[in-house]
Amino acid sequence: MASKLTTSNRAGWGFALPGFGLIMLFIVIPFFFAFYLSLTNQRLISPNPTEFVGLSNYDRLLSISVLSIEPETDDAGQVVRDDAGEAQYPRVRTFTRNNPDYPQYAGMREWFRWHWGETAKVVVATDVVFWKSLRNTLMFVLVVAPVQGGLALGLALLINQRLRGINFYRAIYFMPVVVSIVVVSLLFRFIYDGNDGLLNNILGFLSFGFFEGRDWLGSENTALGAIMGMSIWQAVGFHMVIWLSGLQTISPTLYEASSIEGASKWQTFRYVTWPGLRNTAVLVLIVITMQAFALFAQIDVMTRGGPLDSTTTIVFQAVERGYGKQDISGGSAISVILFVLVLTISLIQRFLTRER
Amino acid sequence: MATVKLRDIRKSYGKTEVIKGVDIDIDDGEFVVFVGPSGCGKSTLLRMIAGLEDISDGTLEIDGQRVNDLEPSKRGIAMVFQSYAIFPHMTVRENVAFGLTINKMKKAEKDAKVDDAARILQMEHLMDRRPSELSGGQRQRVAIGRAIVRDPKVFLFDEPLSNLDAALRMDMRMEIGKLHQDLGASMIYVTHDQVEAMTLADKIVVLKDGLVMQAGAPMELYHEPANLFVAGFLGAPSMNFLQVIVEDTGEDWVQVSSKALVSVKVPSKGRTFTKGHNATLGVRPQYLIAASDGQGMLNGKVILTERLGSETVVNLAAGDGSKLIAAIAEDAVLVPGTEMAWTFDPALAHAFPEEV
Ligand SMILES: Nc1ncnc2c1ncn2[C@@H]1O[C@H](COP(=O)(O)OP(=O)(O)OP(=O)(O)O)[C@@H](O)[C@H]1O
Ligand SMILES: [Mg+2]
């Protein structure tokens, strides 16, 4: 029944306006604003007028090269070696500081290096911290997306059974989702604590005291992994619920038909469940990927990017620069890069998982 | 091909018993149809035979072997569901071959079987389509094809034609009949459509509230209904019932009358009647005919006539206000409002004692 209200154009726009306005105000306008700012040298507070600087913000962030360094040789042309027999190399800064022969490396710093025979290949970048944040974010996405998605599916399959008290487990698994990530992060700071953290205690107990305990967030090697673990645990329940809703759209008679045909558990999953979850899988994958790219709160609360930038992320860098260092234009440029990155990856995912 | 034997089969969901002790014997190659009103337990009974529902009590034998606790796939049955239950992401060929694929049958042998089924069901041209590109009848054909390739001892059908439109339903009904002739397998077929039951069955089992009301050949049930329920359930339009009083009883007859009906002597068919008690007299609409002058057994006022083409259905109001239906020749013209005298052959009427 079409009432006057539902057919009136003006009423339609009126209802759309609040949502539309908020989206404009907080998403669309800031996006274009960020894009504009990233092309300037705007600072948060500055007496100088804003200047248009073209792509130089992007240039500074993205410039990266590989520098090949030959070992040092003595007058006879022999490679100089130290006591352990390791070849000696000239310092990187001899190339990047005031060296007129290599203007392209000026101002760059070493990120990491590997050896190709005796030649050292050194990756240098103007903004090493940004590259580290990029690497950490990608690592986070690559680990969290499949592990969290897979774990959530596993839980959903377990939960999707008609057992007594199954709702209790549903609630348990979903609970961390309802708790603020900031609170979870604070709690996990205690759990991961190096002196008397819960994790160290448990591992010590399980290994009969052999495990000596470590400062999980204080070490370059474990900090990012620890944050990944916590993040996976925190949001797995959310994706479990999405999987669960997908599972419940699959008609029970399909399972009955496959049981009559004699399909094993695995075959049932392979031929009935998984194909039925196609669209859910695309959704879960894209949502996890986007959330993982936006990693910020955990970092801000737990490590602030440390130790030695081993947990810094793109969003953390954007905020850190924009507000911490008042470099609004640099922060904006990072946001735009993140946008392009996420868009690209989403498009690739859509393409790979498209309906054939 | 096999026999199926149900002995005192019962099913309870919690405290409610829905199947209350059912005994049925199905001979080798027999086509048995379960009919009954909605909720009487037809599907439940079929699903217990299939192994999709546990049997609470009693014995189920297929081919002389007790199969109560056997997996559905081990019982030698194939089932066709009302909702088709074909896999949406597989082609028709893959759907039909599903059971063979998961049991790792060789490709050549598999293809031969699938092609055979396709030929029997005349769907060779559909083999590479997806279910979404098929009509309802074609989908059901795929489901039947999947059943055929299993070479089951017993085919189970749960209202396979209910989702189809009337014309298609008739076609498919004939095809299923033909399939039964060609394959000679035992088939159990659930329906609430009595035309399907009458045309397809070697034996009809009429169920009500989880109990067997009567089992036997279609014409036997039609002509010799064992009780009021079966009498009213089979036949279209359904049998007329008149409330009467027993006037007299004899060895194999009973004489009844009522305010609307003159005294008639009808066969008692072994049922016991008591003089002066109430009883019900059943007359099929087809046997109720307009009487020539002075021969009428009861008066009926024409309320409404419906011309169905092959016959004309007349709604009548008898003298005592009860509603009657007569099915008469297609070309008869009756004017609503006319008082008429009607008659029937007492030998074709059924008398049922009042149930206490
Ligand atoms: N899972 C269940 N739990 C409780 N009661 C059930 C369950 N499944 C079926 N029943 C009950 O069992 C009875 C028989 O159901 P069934 O589905 O066998 O009926 P049916 O004869 O097939 O009816 P229809 O013609 O509508 O398909 C119904 O009263 C139904 O409410
Ligand atoms: Mg049913």
B344 vs B326: CA distance, rounded Å: 10
Query: Measured between beta carbons, which residues in chain B are less than 8 angstroms from residue A250?
Result: none
pLDDT of residue A18: 93
What is the mean pLDDT of the segment spanning B306-325?
A: 88
Above 70 in pLDDT, residue B45? yes
Query: Measured between beta carbons, which residues in chain A are less than 8 angstroms from residue B79?
Result: 256-257, 260
**Do β-strands A109-116 and B211-216 pair in parallel, antiparallel, or remain unpaired?**
unpaired
pLDDT of residue A199: 79
**pLDDT tens digits along A19-67:** 999 999 998 898 888 888 888 877 777 777 777 777 777 877 777 877 7
Write the DSSP symbol of residue B292.
P
What is the mean pLDDT of the segment spanning B199-224?
A: 93
What is the mean pLDDT of the segment spanning A243-265?
A: 91
Residue-by-residue DSSP string for B23-63? EEEE-TT-EEEEE-STTSSHHHHHHHHHTSS---EEEEEET
Using H for helix, E for strand and C for coil, what is the string for B106-155? CHHHHHHHHHHHHHHCCCHHHCCCCHHHCCHHHHHHHHHHHHHCCCCCEE
- B249: Cβ–Cβ under 8 A, 6 or more apart, which residues? B255, B268, B273, B274, B275
ipTM of the modeled complex: 0.85
Write the DSSP symbol of residue B73.
G
CB-CB contact of A67 with A122 (8 Å): yes
pTM, 2 dp:
0.80
The protein residues having their C-beta less than 5 angstroms from ligand 2 (an ion) are B 43
**pLDDT tens digits along A303-312:** 887 788 888 8
Q: Is B22 in the pocket of ligand 1 (CB under 6 A)?
A: no
Give the mutation target among B33, B35, B44 for probing the ligand 1 site: most ligand atoms within 8 A of CB. Answer: B44
Ligand nearest to the CA of B36: 1
Walk me through the domains of chain A, giving residue ranges and CATH numbers.
Answer: 64-125 (no CATH), 129-325 (1.10.3720.10)
pLDDT of residue A356: 64
Q: Rg of the Cα trace of chain A?
A: 27
H/E run at residue B164? none
**Do β-strands B323-328 and B312-318 pair in parallel, antiparallel, or remain unpaired?**
antiparallel
Q: Is B43 in the pocket of ligand 1 (CB under 6 A)?
A: yes
Percentage of chain A modeled with pLDDT above 70: 99
Closest ligand 1 atom to B41 CA: 18
- Closest A-chain CA to B82: A253
Tokens read off for A226:
């620890």
Q: Does residue A263 sit at the B interface (CB-CB below 8 Å)?
A: yes
User: What is the CATH architecture assignment of B240-353?
Assistant: Beta Barrel (2.40)
Q: Where are the alpha helices (DSSP H) in chain B?
A: 42-50, 92-102, 107-120, 136-148, 166-183, 194-200, 218-223, 228-233
CATH assignment of B4-233, among 3.40.50.920, 3.30.360.10, 3.40.50.300, 3.40.50.970: 3.40.50.300
- Taking Cα atoms as reference points, which of A129, A139, A219, A181 lies closest to residue A298? A181
Percentage of chain B modeled with pLDDT above 90: 59
Contact B79 A259 (CB under 8 A): no
CB-CB contact of A160 with A247 (8 Å): yes
pLDDT of residue B325: 93
User: Of the given ranges (A103-112, A287-296, B219-228), which has the lowest mean pLDDT?
Assistant: A103-112
Above 90 in pLDDT, residue B156? yes
Q: Which residues of B touch A (CB under 8 A)?
A: 50-52, 71-74, 77-79, 81, 83, 85-90, 98-99, 102-103, 146, 150
Above 90 in pLDDT, residue A75? no
Write the DSSP symbol of residue A25.
I
Would you kindly state where each structural domain of chain B is located, as residue ranges? 4-233, 240-353
